[in-house]
Amino acid sequence: PGKGRIAREGRDGSLALFSIGGRLRECLKAAEQLEQFGISATVADARWVKPLDIKLLRWLANEHRVVITLEENSIGGFSAQVHQALLEDGAFDGIGKEPLILRSM
């Protein structure tokens, strides 16, 4: 437990889709569709909400300009944990690089 995985690695570091639960297939399909517009998205599967894979999250935040979390049910549980972890890690500070853009779906 607590170990996520990369399901699809993008090429340009512009966008990462970070999913939990049954949203992985939708993320992979979205990544394929984004390719048609020249956007190469990384798709990561958190696999567990607790404990959150901080090493994977840190890699996503450092190597991508935008991270979008996708979760089942209501927005808030998984995305709130991701947001808190990134806040504590300084991902939004803009020190040494552009601040990360984080959105939840």
pLDDT tens profile 25-52: 999 999 999 999 999 999 999 998 888 9
Contact 86, 50 (CB under 8 A): no
Residues 6+ apart with CB under 8 A from 96: none
Which amino acid appears at position 73 of this protein?
Answer: N
Indicate if the pLDDT at residue 2 is higher than 90: no
State how far the Cα of 1 lies from the Cα of 26, in Å rounded to an integer: 23
Q: 19: closest CA among 80, 72, 87?
A: 72
Residue 7 pLDDT level (bands cut at 50, 70, 90)? very high
pTM of the model: 0.91
State how far the Cα of 50 lies from the Cα of 37, in Å rounded to an integer: 34
Longest dimension (CA), the chain: 36
Residues 6+ apart with CB under 8 A from 65: 13, 14, 15, 98, 100, 101
